[in-house]
């Protein structure tokens, strides 16, 4: 597949921050202040997400930034992944930058935002409260990733997913295990079920059981619950990890396909599947590791590569939402639209930093790194 090679957006990124329809809606909302345009930092990517550049030409008030272009008159800069730090120097003080900014890894970008007095909002930090569900880009993109992972597992597996009754005999359905039943995991379960596989799920949050069972899958019980604050999982103790591993290894040895999705934001992915567990798996089985971006949930995962170990294939998928760029761009654009429009009054964006969504996701403002967790991580 093609990938954009250069441009102000991240290399390989195929998504755009706004599809043309959402760009038009957002531009109309802020149109009263014609001096300040909305700038999308995804030049090049539009082509790869299959939205024609020309479709943006008709959207007045939205500028798609080309490589090397400056954005002095931008009031609002929207991106998918972190822009080149150099872009920040061309922005006027007080410009609002919103995107998946990888705040815990983007030291240089944030230093420049601080120096230029940019207001930077990180989409990763949208809090997990009911009101913010429609703004949550991690969820919208994770759903796409889970779907894609199940299709990849079906494609790479050495067996059919569905049960087949044929003149040549009956084929039993594949056994699929999904590790991590969050947003991505639930979509992977639903997709594998639609393909006819028998699905087991495993999660350290006991609360995941109800959702797993409602999709027609069964929960693997290891006797460990690690529900943490704000809907995220907490880190496990060594004893808990050992108990978890023992129960899981037994189940994995019967699987035809395994999809792992357990990520803890801002931290390396927990290593859940050890080399030893892989060695006990069936020949011809496959692990699709959605947590490869953070190093992987399997010890043998190599991010961005497919490796084989003892006749088990381990697929370290990266940048998966980019594989479905039309829908993931539409969903991401809607997340941005839902986030920002409540703060547009008389055509002007006026953020409320006491708001329960804007406050926690604000990383830099008025020349400071205002997010305590990010400030500590970058110290």
By annotation, the residues acting in catalysis are 128, 133, 136, 139, 232
Q: Choose one: 31-39, 158-166, 179-187, 336-344; the region binding ligand NAD (CB under 6 A).
A: 179-187
Please pick, from the candidates 130, 165, 166, 170, the single residue that binds ligand NAD as defined by CB under 6 A.
130
143 near ligand NAD, judged by CB under 6 A: no
Q: In 3D, which of 212, 222, 307, 221 has the Cα closest to residue 261? A: 212
181 near ligand NAD, judged by CB under 6 A: yes
What is d(CA 248, CA 250) in angstroms, rounded to the nearest whole number?
5
267 near ligand NAD, judged by CB under 6 A: no
Which residue's Cβ has the minimum distance to ligand NAD? 182
Q: Choose one: 8-16, 127-135, 338-346, 370-378; the region binding ligand NAD (CB under 6 A).
A: 127-135
Among residues 264 and 370, whose Cβ is nearest to ligand NAD?
Answer: 264
- In three-state form (DSSP H/G/I as H, E/B as E, the rest C), the secondary structure along 293-349 is HHCCCECCCCCCCEEEECCEEEECCCCHHHHCHHHHHHHHHHHHHHHHHHHEECCEE
Neighbours of 318 (CB within 10 A): 14
Among residues 118 and 357, whose Cβ is nearest to ligand NAD?
Answer: 357
Tokens of 287: 């692990």
CA angle at residue 242 from 238 to 246, to 5 degrees?
170
DSSP state of 15: -
Mention every residue, 6+ apart, whose C-beta is less than 8 A from residue 168. none
DSSP state of 144: H
- What is the per-residue binding string for ligand NAD in 270-309, x denoting contact by CB under 6 A? x-x-------------------------------------
Neighbours of 163 (CB within 10 A): 13
139 near ligand NAD, judged by CB under 6 A: yes
Give least dist CB 261 to ligand NAD, A: 5
237 near ligand NAD, judged by CB under 6 A: no
Neighbours of 115 (CB within 10 A): 13
Among residues 76 and 123, whose Cβ is nearest to ligand NAD?
Answer: 123
Among residues 136 and 289, whose Cβ is nearest to ligand NAD?
Answer: 136
Among residues 169 and 230, whose Cβ is nearest to ligand NAD?
Answer: 230
Please pick, from the candidates 122, 262, 292, 315, the single residue that binds ligand NAD as defined by CB under 6 A.
262
At which residue do the structure tokens 């991240």 appear? Answer: 10
205 near ligand NAD, judged by CB under 6 A: yes
- For the chain, how many residues are written? 379
Task: State the chain's maximal CA–CA distance in angstroms.
Answer: 72
- Contact positions vs ligand NAD (CB under 6 A): 128-130, 132-133, 136, 138-139, 142, 179-185, 202-205, 208, 231-233, 236, 261-264, 270, 272
């Amino acid at each position: 597949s093609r990938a954009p090679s250069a441009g102000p957006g991240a290399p390989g990124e195929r998504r755009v921050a706004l599809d043309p329809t959402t760009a038009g809606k957002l531009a109309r909302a802020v149109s009263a202040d014609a001096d300040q345009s909305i700038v999308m930092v995804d030049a090049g990517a539009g082509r790869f997400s299959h939205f024609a550049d020309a479709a943006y030409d008709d959207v007045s008030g939205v500028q798609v930034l080309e490589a090397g272009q400056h954005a002095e008159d931008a009031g609002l800069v929207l991106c998918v992944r972190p822009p080149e730090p150099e872009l920040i120097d061309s922005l006027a003080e007080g410009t609002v930058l919103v995107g998946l900014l990888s705040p815990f890894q983007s030291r240089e970008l944030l230093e420049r935002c601080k120096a230029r007095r940019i207001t930077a909002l990180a989409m990763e930090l949208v809090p997990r409260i009911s009101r913010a569900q429609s703004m949550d880009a991690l969820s919208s993109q994770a759903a796409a990733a889970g779907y894609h992972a199940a299709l990849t597992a079906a494609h790479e597996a050495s067996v059919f997913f569905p049960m087949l009754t044929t003149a040549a005999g009956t084929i039993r359905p594949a056994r699929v295990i999904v590790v991590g039943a969050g947003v991505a995991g639930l979509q992977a379960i639903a997709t594998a079920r639609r393909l006819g596989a028998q699905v087991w799920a495993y999660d350290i949050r006991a609360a995941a059981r109800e959702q797993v069972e409602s999709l027609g899958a069964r929960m693997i019980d290891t006797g460990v619950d690690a529900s943490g604050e704000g809907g995220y999982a907490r880190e496990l103790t060594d004893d808990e990890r050992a108990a978890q591993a023992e129960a899981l290894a037994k189940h994995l040895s019967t699987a035809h396909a395994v999809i792992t999705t357990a990520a803890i934001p801002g931290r390396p992915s927990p290593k859940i599947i050890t080399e030893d567990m892989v060695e006990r798996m069936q020949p011809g089985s496959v692990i699709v590791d959605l947590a490869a971006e953070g190093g992987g949930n399997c010890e043998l995962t190599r991010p961005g590569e497919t490796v084989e170990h003892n006749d088990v294939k381990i697929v370290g998928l990266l940048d998966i939402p980019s594989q479905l760029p039309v829908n993931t761009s539409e969903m991401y654009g809607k997340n941005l639209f839902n986030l920002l429009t409540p703060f547009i009054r008389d055509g002007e964006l006026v953020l409320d930093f006491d708001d329960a969504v804007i406050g926690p996701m604000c990383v830099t403002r008025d020349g400071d790194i205002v997010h305590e967790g990010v400030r500590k991580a970058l110290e």
